[in-house]
Amino acid sequence: MKALVYLGKDSKALQERPKPTIGATTDAIVRITRTTICGTDLHILKGDVPSCQPGRILGHEGVGIIDQVGSAVTAFKAADRVLISCISACGKCVYCRKLMYSHCLTGGWILGNRIDGTQAEFVRIPYADTSLYPIPEGADEEALVMLSDILPTGFECGVLNGKVQPGGTVAIVGAGPIGLAALLTAQFYSPAQIIMVDLDENRLEVATRFGATAVVNSGDGNALERIMQMTDGRGVDTAIEAVGVPQTFELCEKLLAPGGILANIGVHGVKVDLHLESLWDRNITITTRLVDTVSTPMLLNVLRSRKLDAKRLITHRFRLDRIHDAYEAFAHAADTHALKVIIEA
């Protein structure tokens, strides 16, 4: 089969690899029909994720059709159409019992990280019964790819951890796909203000279309002052960091009103300064999280009811044999205006 393989920092290749086989009775082999690229894949290529070793097939998102299942799989059978969760969960360990599937002792974020992933024609899914979801009849597969990772990530790590409330004020720093997913799902709770911050005017224009009440281009260095003006000098109740670099995290620290919450989503590859000298007395909370995908069933229902149009996040489409072009488009979004790219296997 064809698969995109990580070869080391700044290096990848589309290679021929053996089709995966059942390795445990709880496994399923899924034929990928559509997958995508995540910002985390770019972090891997930058060398920010040491758990992903050279030789690994990348990717942790997608939809497909079950090719075969292990003898212990009871919820699925061959030919079932399924959504692949970016998180694999045994459902039995101490962390799974706490619904912290991302910290599953034998699973978690392993696809495209510690085991081969979904940017291929076939993928092996461990713990199939608790790591796959049936695709409803008539559902749009492209839209469902957004439920593998970015929508639950934006919702759980940003909106839920940030305790977005009706009438509250939210700043989302980073208007990439994850930030936009947080924007879409924050609207479930009717905050009074959702302020999107980014350097890219195109993404800020998209954020306005997606429901942001205000946008701020931070390129001039005056984002803090402008947001303070918008909030009468108070700051925001929730600041969601959706980039993963020191400058954006420190901006979020400064944006918080007393009692505010900083919800980190970004993948940080270098250290960030925590300015306790200015935060120690402000009753603030800082949260970190890897997506657990506990919200996926709810998001599936919202998608089916057409109250959330996840397909709006998709801007480009490629075949698997053009996956290098897909990475180029995704990595140079300022020029290509790419958000999420769909790759058809």
Q: What pLDDT, on the 0 to 100 scale, is given for residue 120? A: 98
Q: Around Cβ 192, how many Cβ atoms within 10 Å? A: 12
136 pLDDT above the threshold of 90? no
**How confident is the model at residue 33, as a pLDDT?**
98
Residue 233 corresponds to which tokens in the numbers above?
């000098």
DSSP 196-250: EEES-HHHHHHHHHHT-SEEEEGGGS-HHHHHHHHTTTS-EEEEEE-S-SHHHHH
Mean pLDDT, the chain, integer? 97
Q: What pLDDT does 53 receive? A: 96
Identify the structural domains of the chain with CATH numbers, from first to last.
Answer: 2-149+292-344 (3.90.180.10), 152-287 (3.40.50.720)
Nearest to 294 by CA among 138, 169, 133, 134: 133
> Do 309 and 187 contact (CB within 8 A), yes or no?
no
The pLDDT-based confidence of 138 (bands split at 50, 70, 90) is confident
Alpha carbon distance 179, 176 (integer Å): 5
* pLDDT digits 0-9 by tens, 53-80: 999 999 999 999 999 999 999 999 999 9
- Spatial contact of 133 and 296, defined as CB atoms under 8 Å apart: yes
Summarised one tens digit per residue, pLDDT across range 267-282 is 888 899 999 999 999 9
Q: Which residues have a Cβ under 8 Å from the Cβ of 74 and sit 6 or more positions away?
A: 129
Coil, helix or strand for 59?
coil
**SS3 label, residue 255:** helix
